[in-house]
């Protein structure tokens, strides 16, 4: 049985779009489709630390809990989820990891049975480093057949670890696929 590894934020959910629409745009102007880099702190006119702090506030305030899964992804899991194993692999601050894990299990727990995270470090934190990036984790894990991620850096690191990849379409990665086309490619990998 194949093992598919899914990024969480901006792949299983629409974090950036919801955060931007509900919490940034009411006071500032920046259209989601114009975000060509992630993290977008320079486009927002704030430091990277301030941007991460704003996202952390969103995560810790209860708003993250209310994020809806991306409809196409949820539908795909409902129809095809039992055809392979699934793992969530995300980069999130330690203080919010339990929130992300709970969201995944609440929305995808019928199919995703493992949640792993690489700490997204914040000032004052000094946890032990087991894996510096997703590629290092996937190399350690050794069972991934496919990584689906929105960040090109993560895709490149996974490929170096020998894992097939698909870039989830987001404005900052210039993927040419639609979500449905990507999900068709996932099915092809499952059937290989």
Mean pLDDT, each 10-residue run in order, the chain (192 residues): 97 94 70 72 80 90 96 98 97 95 98 96 88 95 96 95 96 92 96 87
Sign of CA dihedral 36, 122, 98, 166: positive
Q: What pLDDT is recorded for position 111?
A: 98
Residue with tokens 């999130």: 92
Q: Which residues pair with 86 in a beta bridge?
A: 4, 112
Q: What pLDDT is recorded for position 192?
A: 83
Buried b (16+ CB within 10 A) or exposed e, 134-173: bbbbbbebeebbbbbbbbbebbebbeebebbbbbbbbbbb
Do strands 85-92 and 146-149 pair parallel, antiparallel, or not at all (unpaired)? Answer: unpaired
Q: Rounded to whole angstroms, how far apart are CA atoms 141 and 95?
A: 24
Three-state DSSP class for 116? strand
Closest Cα partner for 40 from 56, 32, 179?
32
Residue 71 burial (10 A CB sphere; 0-12, 13-18, 19+): exposed
Instruction: Locate all alpha helices (DSSP H) within the chain, ordered by sequence.
Output: 15-19, 41-44, 48-60, 71-80, 94-108, 134-141, 152-160, 179-191
Q: What pLDDT is recorded for position 32?
A: 65
Closest Cα partner for 192 from 47, 2, 21?
2
């Amino acid at each position: 049985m194949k093992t598919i590894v899914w990024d969480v934020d901006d792949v299983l959910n629409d974090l950036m779009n919801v955060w931007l629409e509900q919490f940034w745009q009411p006071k500032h102007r920046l259209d989601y489709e114009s975000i060509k880099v992630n993290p977008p702190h320079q486009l927002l006119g704030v430091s990277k630390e301030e941007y991460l702090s704003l996202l952390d506030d969103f995560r810790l305030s209860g708003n993250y809990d209310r994020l809806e899964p991306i409809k196409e992804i949820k539908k795909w899991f409902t129809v095809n989820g039992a055809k392979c194993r699934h793992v969530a692999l995300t980069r999130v601050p330690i203080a919010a990891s339990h929130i992300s894990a709970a969201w995944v299990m609440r929305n995808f727990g019928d199919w995703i049975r493992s949640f792993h995270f690489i700490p997204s470090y914040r000032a004052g934190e000094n946890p032990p480093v087991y894996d510096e990036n997703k590629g290092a984790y996937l190399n350690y894990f050794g069972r991934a057949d496919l990584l689906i991620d929105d960040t090109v850096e993560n895709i490149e690191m996974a490929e170096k670890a020998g894992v097939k990849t698909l870039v989830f379409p987001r404005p900052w990665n210039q993927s040419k696929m639609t979500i449905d086309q990507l999900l068709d490619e996932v099915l092809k990998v499952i059937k290989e």
